[in-house]
Structure 1
Amino acid sequence: MTYSVLRAPYGDSLVQEFDDRTPDVFAEAENSPGFITRAKQQDDKEWLTNHQREWGSWGPFAVPRFYNDGVASGHSTQAQTISVWQDLKSVWNFAYHGPLHRQALQMRKDWFLNQRWPIYVIWWIEDNHQTNWREACERLECLHDHGSTPRAFTFRQPFDAQGQPVQMNRL
């Protein structure tokens, strides 16, 4: 899961470039080796906020406890995604070597507020498990509260599927 708070609500010129780039970055992710799936709204009503959209098996939209801004159309400022990947190396390669995503990362200070919480969290899921927005928020909060653990971690302190610490440069 990735989670950040925009400097201004969606639709504001300050963050419009971020919003305009999002479909292409999603397409880059979906075409990356190791990508499995991501949360997508089940309706085509672009005027709805994430809280109003239907997310199917991803469950009702939820935000971490850190978010205390509005959720109404024209005021929502949270930017978050959930995606499922085959392994750590695949998502690492997309996040830091996918040209569009890498470029977006370099511009994040233009679009997002400085945060006192993690901007992403990683965790392992069983093959038959469908993660959801509430679980993702709980994992991000766990990472914030306890640091990297096998339950919720970052690329800086990753764990393998058995809960053992690993180093990204050895994958």
Structure 2
Amino acid sequence: MVVQPAGTHLAQLNVGRARFATDDPRMAEFMGALDGVNALAERSAGFVWRLQSEAGNATDIKLTDDPQFIVNLSVWETPEQLEHFVWNTVHKRIYQKKGNWFEPRATPHFVMWWVPVGHIPTPEEALARLAHLTQHGPSEHAFGWESLPNVKLWMNQRCA
């Protein structure tokens, strides 16, 4: 179990490979929901920052050679506040349909880690944390919901 150190916030990265190009009609429901979900995140208690392009989302930020590799990177004050946004808002409805839009992954797609208050993680830093989780399992350096003792809603949902 990991406990939030004083003077830190929680960073999270969620990655996926879209089944289709973002302009494909089969991605329309997902793409159409992004602005609303992102706006809700920004209004949510505990929200600090999220990765976004000039277009206002991160779907056009390419971190790999794969044009269908999509990332979501954000920072929250506490795990409980991220948990509330993920499982108690419209985000949950979108998450429950992820199989319609994203390919299953054989490796972890979600990672969290502590960052000093005021630190904005880079996408490269985030991908390195995901790689660490994949290679070494949960630790203080990189972890999933199961490592956080005060959040439990994921147990009924399986986000990571």
Q: Residues 44 and 29 from structure 1, CA distance in 2 versus in 1: closer, same or farther, beyond 3 angstroms?
A: closer
- 1:15 is displaced (CA, Å) by 1.4
Partner secondary structure for residue 168 of structure 1: coil
Cα distance in 1 between the residues matched to 2:43 and 2:150: 25
- What displacement does 1:45 show? 9.6
Q: Answer 1 or 2: which has greater helix percent.
A: 2
SS at match of 2:116: coil
Aligned AA for 2:151? M
What's 2:120 paired with? Answer: 130
Q: TM-score, normalised by structure 1?
A: 0.74
| In structure 2, distance between residues paired with 1:94 and 1:138 | 25
1 CA distance for matches of 2:34 and 2:151?
26
State the shift of 1:118 in Å. 1.5
- TM-score, normalised to structure 2, is 0.79
Q: Please state which structure has a larger fraction of its residues in strand.
A: 2
Q: Give the count of matched residue pairs.
A: 139
Is 1:93–2:84 an aligned residue pair? Answer: yes
Q: Which stretches of structure 1, 4 residues or longer, exceed 6 Å deviation after superposition?
A: none
The 2-side partners of 1:45 and 1:111 are apart by 20
Match of 2:28 in 1: 16
Cα-to-partner distance string for 1:61-115 (whole Å, 9 max, x where unaligned): x34xxxxx63xxxxx21221111100100001111111x1010011111111011
Aligned-partner Cα distance in 1 for 2:42–2:114: 19
1:115 to 89, 93, 105: 105
Name the structure, 1 or 2, with higher relative contact order (CA <8 Å, separation 6+): 2
SS where residue 70 of structure 2 aligns?
A: strand
Where do residues 13-162 of structure 1 align in structure 2 (5 Å cutoff)? Answer: 13-41=25-53, 43-44=54-55, 49-51=60-62, 62-63=63-64, 70=66, 76-98=67-89, 100-158=90-148
Unaligned runs of 5+ in 2: 1-12, 153-160
Q: Classify 1:130/1:109 alpha carbon distance in 2 versus 1 (closer, same or farther; 3 Å).
A: same
Residues 39, 106 of structure 1: CA spacing in aligned structure 2 closer, same or farther, 3 A cutoff?
same
Deviations along 1:1-30, whole A, 9 cap, x unmatched?
111111111111121211111111111111
Q: Which has the larger radius of gyration?
A: 1
